[in-house]
Structure 1
């Protein structure tokens, strides 16, 4: 058992097969951004294009954003709120939607690219053969190889979290054959200088305002400063380095070259103006670089692997088809070395389960690479961005996308990767307290549907169906309670989670007002990004009404979390908890419309877009827990009807949300249909006539690229294989396994609520073995498999092995 409270145990008996490769494979250099291979250490990211004659290594740093800390309050908002509420009460929903502009805040700031490392090789590089480019998920490295004449060239890249550098080694199998010119550039305001023959530095500044808000090209605010330092290590007796125009380095006749790249910024938290920051990014970058220079490339890689694999290897998944069909697929993969793009294209015909494994683990890889303790949250594109003005500013969106980014952290055994999310929630609570007080004359804290590095807490702008949604902080707070349910870390609950939950609930209690009948209501209220046809208006659209199903579902989830947290912490007698207990039965119930679906709004409005991408009204089933198959079967039928009505088309994140919802409904067939829907190749570079799908590098598409569905897919696969509840201590094994598609397989290391870790194996579509352990001193679990149920008492430090009949056949001490 290690310090994180989980253990390595032997695999189930049937999985003595050799682990398959987990590689994203290309047979040519990247032509587009979504062909390149992403690597990262949580903060520093790089895209490896793999071009032979002219290589481009695109760099990102998680703290490079436009702007400065903002004022997220509006003293005129209370007047606008009163106007909107009166219009909603009069059911003048179109007018209320228009009047809601008085509650708008402003746009977010914009995530910025750091810059590019350019490597210009000799013109003879144009004639190459045997090209191969691979991203290996087991080692988090990108390797490129090709031949020019009789010389084989190799490049190896990784981003080290322990040393905080991007490392590249370029080598040849014949001495003296590595020659190229190295330069740095950036789309941001910058300058480059050579400090010596082994080092170059780029300094720059992000815009102090988002580009669209520049006035006549002026930008009087001082933005975040940054620095990138590149150091060289060179091998070969004939190697030499020449400085060109104090801007470039020319390396000739080397045996090998190692590039070490460090980056830093002046960002000192969301409340410090860059003009007042005391941080010196150049000094920080050079310090990081100099520490790394004391190690060899092999030593750097060893430290990188120890760190990365300590996270990645916690979970193993293997899925198998019928033996003869799978044998044919694997032989084709092994012998012909199919590219990942080819595997995506052939999935509709071969349904290769190893591609599902790869995509599952790719989500875990991306999360490890884009979110680590001390970094910023993984944004709409993780940490990878090539554009000065990326789609949707690449900002964290709180009405599904940011939450989905972190869905895999707990079930897929990457708890540490949540830390940046908790940091952001803490910052949002600070700014959100001011927003709640000034804008809504409420206690507690609030935030809306989109934020940025400055923890913007005010509403968005442009359109009420995006802007007017003060539930962003509440949805985020459910992650705090979820973390406790998985970890049972009482110190985390008391010192970190509960104060934030408490502040969130204080706002929600004040936000709720007396509604029709004996119910409380939220007013104004929107269902994220989805308008309705306002009754009696001749077909006019509106988005502002009252008590949308998602509002009430999230509030109910938060209130129950506060009550449960208070019970754990002995705080059930506080005034807030008493108010919550009184409010809970006054929340409107989930309603079923005349067509048998879940009502999205408080009234059964006509829906102008029945195939809308958002599934907000189904929140209570997933990721929430207030609707379950066991306790609410009739409501679950309405959820299924709602999913059928929504249809299967939609952006990648919508597809994976549907996948998880079908899993919660124990419907393996439809969950698998969503897998088929997602695994569709998106041609890079141009517009496509469908939504969702995968790019050649396995990134998920909205389109354009959004990373959320990569994480949603991973979480949904876990949900198909294992589900759990904390309060009732139920563990459901293989609840939505598509038995005909994956008749044989195993998963190792999934986490369940109650601080439990589980291994499961199955054969011929039936459970063969399950292994359960926990670091709790003692806990009682109910294991479920189909109709079978078994009670088990689990003692900390012991491992319990169950057969397919849920009989405990072996107990042994954890290693």
Structure 2
């Protein structure tokens, strides 16, 4: 903390005030503890605000394939998800049989592993002059797709021909009940996002049948309990897989399944054990590997499954998956259902209770699919936010790889888009909400995976681009270190700068020096690559090329809709500035690499500027090629608005107005993930009603009956983007106070772009000085509160700087906020158009704002 911050902070707080703050912290901690205890004591009472409820089973095309998929709906869009970050499940709630889909986030197929360190990156080995041949086509303006075009030459010389592979399902657990669906009364199926418990209940004759299902993070197993009251259970349990089965056997009370997922090189081996506990029943193993149970009052089922994957480059192999299966099943069986359930509920509810949104509505009692089929409601918007948080902690936690395009849940052997990692927004969007929505633990898999990419990407940087320092990443990734360029030349791009933006933003929120030490080599490596890869354009500015502006075309009438390859696309240039700025700050905080820091500072002014075009729009490319009728789903050239921090209505008026024009051109309706991003954009533009309009559209028109994001067949990034948009409506913390004496936010905030005095429509990058590393974050309270949410409150939002914030509003007006410090530090508050002085809190202290008189 610099001297100015300390001096201003002392003026803000007297010792008496500091004592009051500490006392408030003690009361707050007591209230939080009582709240947790109360939550645990009342878990049996489901809070409707968190529960997805249905009065019919999911559609199950595995059971009835002849029925097809009416209106595009099937199992994946109607079954309900469970997960612990690595192991996932979905349950159908079927009456005659329960279908539980099992997934392991590390199980891939149709790729290669175990090659030498260069080959495993899948990079194309390029001759020294090949990159220059491609770049000359750009400089010569060879657009389109002809043999001498940018795209064709990029495909010929730079693109990989190696297989990416795809994410694959693990197995299916099938439990036949022999019940007649026509005889059922009082059917209920639900998922409580606060506890991660799935339930099914119905009556037949004088009997009542119930099921409970969950996926345990503490014990790494899927657990189910079937019970009957006034009747008996007669079940048949079978497990299958679409992969090659090497062994399946039922013995006594368990089913063991082993198999192989087909790879181009080195098949992935896996194992699953299903253990049954039905002490009052007859249990009979069958020769086909199934188990029959008759005359039971209660049946408990425990499932463990692992594959041999380990995140070790380049082998990606070595887990003792068989021993891990045996260990997990032995522990679960010994502990029993009740203990496993209690530990699971305590684990999930502790994380879910950290952040709660309470909009002002009365629960309708409608089922979730009915809510989705309506025109939108506060009830649905509230539920969608909490459910998205539940999905986040369910599909990303301690696994070695991040959530993919479908999070964790995939039933298809050939999933759409390989169910892979798209780096032109999708995998990054998956992690926008983890910190603001107070699920920071979910970020770990992303950081781990990016370190593997950096290890592999050094070979792609060197062999494809001739860059001898740093690392490179292309458009598509897998779990085996694939960092090469996409097979289509028009999709050639760099991605390390955007991945590193996520990495550094996680540090900004949590302020953990140990984490910064860990990721700094990755961030520095990305910056080193661009230092060498950036090349002068005809006007002398430094640009990224080959590149594109995902996934958009330009000059379509002249060169066709596949004319996408470009130079100096605005998104690249914005992200390079962000990367260099973050690397400068990280090296300053850690006290290292002063020479490299100066190199970055010297390069920043040479970067191609951002430009305002003929329609008043922010240009997508350095040439004024934008078409005002273009409604493309990607709006990558506004990355500096969100998830970046360099365009703001409060600090960069001209760029803000140009961003507004761009957003008007693109329109409101789009795919699920794009709708989620637009919610974030309009929140950053401080238009709460427009942001809400799009969020309402997302929740009511871009959601399947199980609230999975509508992007046929399903993509999870829309769920996460929408939840991030809610956070952005209520709290923003991306601006920094570089002048702690300034009384207005315009004077105080660091600005990354300034007008070029010779070209008023051009905005050149600003070199950050080392004071930025100590600059307090500015907490903007209710920056985009929509009129549709006149009253409400939210607790547990996280802000950059290591802070948590509770906010309450009424009749459309800010009422009060409480800021809790998770780290020693300083910050400023911006609320109702006024900027506070610098405030200092020590770890554990809290502050009520505005201060009590």
TM superposition score normalised by structure 2: 0.85
Determine if contact 2:51/2:191 at 8 Å carries over to the other structure. Answer: yes
Aligned-residue offset at 1:703:
2.2
Give the aligned partner of residue 159 of structure 2: 104
CA contact (8 A) 1:6 1:774 kept: no
Q: What is the CA–CA distance in structure 1 between the aligned matches of 2:617 and 2:703, rounded to whole Å? A: 30
Give the C-alpha shift of residue 312 in structure 1: 1.3
Q: 1:513-567: CA deviations, max 9, x gaps? A: 11233411122221111121179x4667521221000110110100000111111
Deviation digits for residues 661-693 of structure 1 (CA, Å, limit 9, x no counterpart): 100010111101101221235xxxxxxxxxxx1
Q: Give the one of 586, 600, 625 matched to 2:645.
A: 625
- CA 1:6–1:531 in 2, change beyond 3 Å: closer, same or farther? farther
Quote the residue 2:723 is aligned against. Answer: 714
Partner of 1:684: none
> 3-state DSSP class of the match of 1:93?
coil
State the shift of 1:398 in Å: 0.7
- In structure 2, the partner of 1:90 is 140
| Equivalent residue number for residue 577 of structure 2 | 556
Work out whether residues 726 and 754 of structure 1, in 8 Å CA contact, stay in contact via their aligned partners in 2.
no
SS in 1 for 2:608: coil
Residue of structure 2 in register with 1:530 after alignment: 552
Q: Distance in 1 between matches of 2:792 and 2:160?
A: 51
**Structure 1 Cα separation of the partners of residues 293 and 58 of structure 2:** 24
- 1:606 Cα deviation after fit: 5.0
Residues 125-204 of structure 1 mapped to structure 2, 5 A cutoff: 126-174=182-230, 177-204=232-259
Q: Which one is further off, 103-112 or 395-404?
A: 103-112
2:295 maps to 1:253:
yes
2:282 corresponds to: 240
Secondary structure of residue in 1 paired with 2:479: coil
> Which residue in the other structure is 1:653 paired with?
673
- Tell me if 1:449 matches 2:475: yes
Gaps of 5+ in 2: 1-21, 33-37, 40-45, 60-73, 114-119, 738-776
2:796 to 724, 730, 749: 749
Selected match of 1:266 from 308, 320, 339: 308
Structure 1 residues 431 and 608: alpha-carbon distance in aligned structure 2, compared to 1, 3 A threshold: farther
1:380 maps onto 2:405 in alignment: yes
Task: Tell me what 2:814 maps to.
Answer: 767
In the alignment, which residue of structure 2 is the partner of 1:566? Answer: 587
Other-structure match for 1:506: 528
1:601 deviates by 0.9
- Taking a change above 3 Å as real, the CA distance of residues 746 and 86 of structure 1, as seen in their structure-2 partners, is same
Secondary structure in 1 matching 2:166: coil
Whether 1:807 aligns to 2:850 is yes
- Asked if structure 1 preserves the Cα contact closer than 8 Å seen for 2:49 and 2:379, the reply is no
Look up the SS of the partner of 2:572 in the other structure. Answer: helix
- 2:470 maps to 1:423: no
CA shift, 1:615, in A, is 0.9
The 3 A distance-change label for structure 1 pair 626 and 142 is same
RMSD (CA atoms): 2.2
Q: 2:843 aligned with 1:793, yes or no?
A: no
Distance 1:267 1:512 in 2: 36
What's the secondary structure of 2:552's corresponding residue?
coil
Alpha-carbon offset, residue 465 of structure 1: 3.2
Q: How far off its partner does 1:354 sit?
A: 2.2
Within 5 Å, give how 1:313-712 maps onto structure 2: 313-320=353-360, 326-327=361-362, 330=363, 333-334=364-365, 338-346=366-374, 348=375, 351-442=376-467, 443-461=469-487, 463-466=488-491, 468-470=492-494, 472-494=495-517, 496-533=518-555, 537=558, 541-571=562-592, 573-574=594-595, 576-605=596-625, 607=627, 610-681=630-701, 693-712=702-721
Q: Secondary structure at the match of 2:665?
A: helix
- Change beyond 3 A, Cα 1:373–1:147: same
Contact 1:44 1:159 in 2 (8 A): yes
Contact 2:121 2:483 in 1 (8 A): no
- Cα 1:303–1:760, aligned 2, differ >3 Å: closer, same or farther? same
Return the alpha-carbon distance in structure 2 between the equivalents of residues 754 and 185 of structure 1: 49
Report the alpha carbon displacement of residue 397 of structure 1 after superposing the two structures with TM: 0.7
Unaligned runs of 5+ in 1: 210-220, 321-325, 682-692, 811-815
Distance 2:485 2:270 in 1: 29
SS class of match (1:809): coil
Would the alpha carbon gap of residues 578 and 801 (structure 1) be closer, same or farther in structure 2, given more than 3 Å must change? closer
**Matched residue SS, 2:108:** coil
* Aligned pairs, number: 750
Equivalent position of 1:227 in the other structure: 271
Q: How far apart, in 1, do the equivalents of 2:610 and 2:121 lie?
A: 37
The structural deviation recorded for 1:8 is 4.7
Aligned equivalents of 2:330 and 2:28: distance in 1?
Answer: 36
Q: CA deviation at 1:798?
A: 5.2
CA displacement, residues 121-152 of structure 1 (integer Å, 9 cap, x when unaligned): 22545411110000101110110000011100
In the aligned structure 2, how far is the partner of 1:199 from the partner of 1:6? 51
d(CA) in 2 for partners of 1:475, 1:196? 51
Mapped contact 1:130–1:147 kept (Cα < 8 A): yes
Q: Deviations over 1:483-506 (max 9, x none)?
A: 111111112112x12111110000
Tell me if 1:75 matches 2:125: yes
User: How far apart are residue 78 of structure 1 and its match?
Assistant: 4.5
- Distance in 2 (CA, whole Å) between partners of 1:613 and 1:124 is 46
What residue number does 1:60 align with?
A: 103
Aligned counterpart for 2:343 among listed residues 297, 303, 314: 303
Larger deviation, residues 189-198 vs 381-390: 189-198
Q: How far does residue 273 in structure 1 lie from its aligned partner after superposition?
A: 3.6
Displacement of 1:103 in angstroms is 1.2
The 3 A distance-change label for structure 1 pair 600 and 6 is farther
Distance in 1 between residues matched to 2:846 and 2:838, nearest whole Å:
9
Asked if 1 retains the 8 angstrom alpha-carbon contact of 2:121 and 2:481, the reply is: no
Q: Offset of 1:418 from its aligned partner?
A: 0.5
Q: 1:762 to 1:606 in 2, by over 3 A?
A: closer
Instruction: State whether residues 93 and 534 of structure 1, in contact with CA within 8 Å, keep that contact through their aligned partners in structure 2.
Output: no
Which residue does 1:217 correspond to in 2? none
